[in-house]
């Protein structure tokens, strides 16, 4: 495979599974109240941080539950470090079965906090070409039903949706079978239209990362066929480690080719860039990585609408380097990301 274009995505059902396990470990200590935060560079281990982003912090994330569990066990130092993840906004990946309950829960919490809900729709048929995050809706009809429920439960909540990570880049790199290409483009286009019927929903189609599709021009036609003209823009670096500067340069070129479309960048784990060495394996739970720029809409670039934590830091890329299955919470890896962070 080419230099690893992407990493597997969060599998939504695993969030609840891990959460139940951690709840048991922290039974004598309630889950912490969300304290949105954004640290200045080199701030000591998550203490006293204040989040000035407009995005919602999930008080029931795996990271938040892990903080509670570690505090109950007396691991206060580790818990404070992990607050660099737990107390910051992360995307919620819509469950593959019925997305309604989780989206309603998150939407109610976001509205109460006056924050924007960041969501990922990741259930396209033939997802991830049968690799670590294989799955998705069983067919086109099932996907239409699922994305309809996804959108219905957002309703009027202020939301930003990253639509189907990998779906368009896999069309460009040849991974998606020829017989599925036209159907995928139709489904994506329909999904953009369905989501945009919600008056407060912004939609960003995934466009891979600079190490995956080096020639941005190859993305232009499929992005437009997938509904880019009606979407708010595109998303870059989802679940990957490419530096933000590279993403901004890449995005600016793609924006120019798409009549000025804006974009968002996933900075969840790009604080130290990609792993050097074996490029085919650099995507999967690489050691020594760090959290990147905390989520914000204050990017200093008129084309970059936001830096987001789309991949939830601490969720595994797959069963490589001793990790659990894709999307499963991995507290030791999360702690390493947080310890090495400088923001």
- Catalytic residue status for 215: no
What would the two tokens of residue 313 be? 């830091």
Beta bridge partners of 327: none
Beta bridge partners of 93: 120
Cβ–Cβ under 8 Å, residues 164 and 122: yes
Distance of CA 318 to the CA centre of its chain: 15
**Which of the following is catalytic: 78, 87, 317, 343?**
317
**Which of the following is catalytic: 87, 166, 232, 272?**
166
**C-alpha–C-alpha distance, residues 146 and 121, integer Å:** 10
**Which of the following is catalytic: 51, 58, 62, 128?**
128
**C-alpha–C-alpha distance, residues 37 and 294, integer Å:** 9
- Catalytic residue status for 62: no
- Catalytic residue status for 317: yes
Q: How many residues are listed for the chain in this entry?
A: 343
Closest CA to 208 of 150, 249, 168: 168
SS (H, E, C) 181-218: HHHHHHHHHHHHHHHHCCCCEEEEEECCCCCCCCCCHH
Closest CA to 90 of 157, 10, 23, 152: 10
> Which sequence positions are flagged as catalytic?
128, 166, 317
């Amino acid at each position: 495979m080419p230099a690893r274009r992407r990493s597997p995505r969060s599998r939504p059902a695993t969030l609840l599974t891990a959460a139940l396990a951690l709840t048991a470990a922290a039974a004598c200590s309630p889950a912490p109240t969300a304290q949105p935060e954004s640290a200045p560079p080199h701030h000591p281990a998550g203490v006293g941080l204040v989040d000035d982003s407009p995005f919602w912090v999930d008080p029931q994330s795996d990271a938040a539950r892990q903080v509670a569990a570690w505090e109950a066990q007396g691991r206060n130092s580790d818990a404070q470090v992990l607050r660099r993840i737990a107390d910051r906004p992360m995307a919620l990946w819509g469950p593959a079965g019925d997305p309604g309950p989780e989206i309603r829960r998150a939407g109610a919490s976001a509205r109460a906090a006056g924050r924007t809900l960041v969501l990922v729709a990741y259930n396209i048929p033939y997802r991830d070409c049968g690799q670590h995050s294989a799955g998705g809706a069983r067919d086109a009809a099932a996907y239409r039903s699922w994305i309809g429920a996804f959108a219905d439960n957002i309703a009027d909540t202020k939301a930003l949706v990253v639509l189907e990570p990998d779906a368009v880049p896999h069309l460009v790199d040849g991974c998606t079978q020829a017989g599925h290409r036209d159907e995928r483009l139709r489904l994506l286009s329909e999904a953009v239209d369905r989501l945009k019927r919600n008056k407060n929903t912004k939609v960003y189609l995934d466009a891979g990362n600079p190490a995956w599709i080096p020639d941005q021009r190859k993305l232009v036609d499929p992005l437009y066929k997938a509904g880019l003209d009606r979407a708010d823009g595109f998303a870059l670096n989802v679940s990957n480690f490419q530096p933000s500067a590279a993403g901004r340069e890449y995005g600016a070129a793609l924006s120019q080719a798409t009549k000025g479309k804006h974009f968002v960048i996933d900075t969840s784990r790009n604080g130290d860039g990609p792993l050097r060495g074996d490029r085919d394996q650099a995507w999967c739970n690489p050691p020594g990585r760090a959290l990147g720029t905390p989520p914000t809409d204050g990017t200093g670039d008129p084309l970059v609408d936001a830096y987001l934590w789309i991949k939830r830091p601490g969720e595994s890329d797959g069963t490589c380097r001793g990790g659990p299955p894709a999307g499963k919470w991995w507290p030791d890896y999360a702690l390493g990301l947080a310890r090495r962070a400088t923001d």
